[in-house]
Structure 1
Amino acid sequence: MSDEQIIDLLQKKEYEGLEMLIDIYGYSIVTTIRAILNQSVEQNYLKDVENAVFYKIWENASLFDSTKSSFKTWILTITKHCSIDKKREIIRSSRMEPVELLPEQGETFDPFEKEHFLDLVSSLSSEDQLIFLKYYYYKEYPEEIAQEFQLTKETIYARLSRGRKKIKQALEGSLS
């Protein structure tokens, strides 16, 4: 079955297209999700993200443009974005404390509070956001991150450095 046939079936909202999509690309989708949601606390969300990806592909099949990318690239881009969104949601929700447990304090903006930091990191590319999260929040070693992304350790350090500079510029822009 060709990608064109799958796309045609999906655009016509025929379930056979979704079944073929799962048969052909399901493994790649699940592998991508697991690569991004790779922390133990995130394992409970794998099926949710998988379902969200298939639903998003189903709903947006008419938006696929073969002149911009291959079908597989389009699918895996949707998968990556859904997975990163869920990762951000998990991180944000795990950092929240009930209001009654928070100490009394004035309304001050601390850009290095975790919630604000996640907003600052959003100015980076998706891959650099993951590198930052793995390094600063999950305390993974650069060697581990490099291996996972199939990059050199030096490249990881360079991306962290460039990312810090970009965040600093964004921070200086928001404070002035």
Structure 2
Amino acid sequence: MEKEIILLLQKKDFLGLEKFIDFLGTDIVKCIRAILNHPEEITFRKETENEVFYRIWQKISSYDTDKSSLKTWSLTITRNICLDKKRSIIREQNIIPMAQLPEHASEDKYFEKENFLDLLNYLTEEDQLIFLKYYYYQDAPSDIAKELKMDVSQVYNHLSRGRKKIKQQFDLNV
């Protein structure tokens, strides 16, 4: 079934898109809902969903069956688009992060919204998502862990490593 869908999509046959949506649409929607899960983001879900399907339609020629499954490839595209959308929503709505990082109270003036988001670019996408959930939306680590299907200790590890990376970048730029 997956090979048939890929061939149809590569031929730009809309039947392939319909089959793709039947095959992976639920997983893609779940991923979108998991990342765009705050009240101010709900209205952007449908737009993001359309963007994901359009991007997959455009990029199917670059898909390599040897590197990953169609599901993994599609959900990676979905996650990246959702994280971009989340960052743009934060910028547009001027959502301000917590005033300071717990371990560096004296550096709070450096973590204004734009600078904070710029510093997040030095983190992995997973770390970015955890940082946004923890510092912007002030989600509890236990909630983040449950949502991302990981242990609470892993969330704390991601936050700790991320703070170290950001601090290194900050020290290099000062």
- TM-score using structure 2 length: 0.89
Partner of residue 88, structure 1: 87
Partner of residue 8, structure 1: 7
Instruction: Give CA-to-partner distance per residue, 1:128-168, whole Å, 9 cap, x none.
Output: 11111111111111111111112121211111111000000
Partner of residue 134, structure 2: 135
Question: Residue 95 of structure 1: SS of its match in structure 2?
Answer: coil
Partner of residue 153, structure 1: 152
Partner of residue 72, structure 1: 71
The sequence identity of aligned pairs, in percent, is 53
Residues in 2 aligned to 1:59 and 1:154: alpha-carbon distance in whole angstroms: 39
Residue type matched to 2:110 in 1? P
Task: Give the 4+ runs in structure 1 shifted more than 2 A.
Answer: none
Partner of residue 39, structure 1: 38
The Cα shift of 1:111 comes to 3.3
Residues in 2 aligned to 1:30 and 1:54: alpha-carbon distance in whole angstroms: 11
The Cα shift of 1:6 comes to 0.7
What runs of 5+ residues in structure 2 fail to find an aligned partner? 96-108
Q: Is the 8 A contact 1:111 1:171 kept in 2?
A: no
Residue type matched to 1:79 in 2? T
Partner of residue 104, structure 1: none
The Cα shift of 1:50 comes to 0.3
Residue type matched to 1:37 in 2? L
Question: Residue 19 of structure 1: SS of its match in structure 2?
Answer: helix
Partner of residue 62, structure 1: 61
Residues in 2 aligned to 1:25 and 1:3: alpha-carbon distance in whole angstroms: 10
Partner of residue 17, structure 2: 18
The Cα shift of 1:52 comes to 0.3
Residues in 1 aligned to 2:121 and 2:110: alpha-carbon distance in whole angstroms: 13
Instruction: Give CA-to-partner distance per residue, 1:68-114, whole Å, 9 cap, x none.
Output: 11111000000001111000000011118xxxxxxxxxxxxx63111
Residues in 1 aligned to 2:35 and 2:52: alpha-carbon distance in whole angstroms: 14
Residues in 1 aligned to 2:117 and 2:37: alpha-carbon distance in whole angstroms: 18
Partner of residue 106, structure 1: none
Residues in 2 aligned to 1:93 and 1:168: alpha-carbon distance in whole angstroms: 26
What runs of 5+ residues in structure 1 fail to find an aligned partner? 97-109
Partner of residue 99, structure 1: none
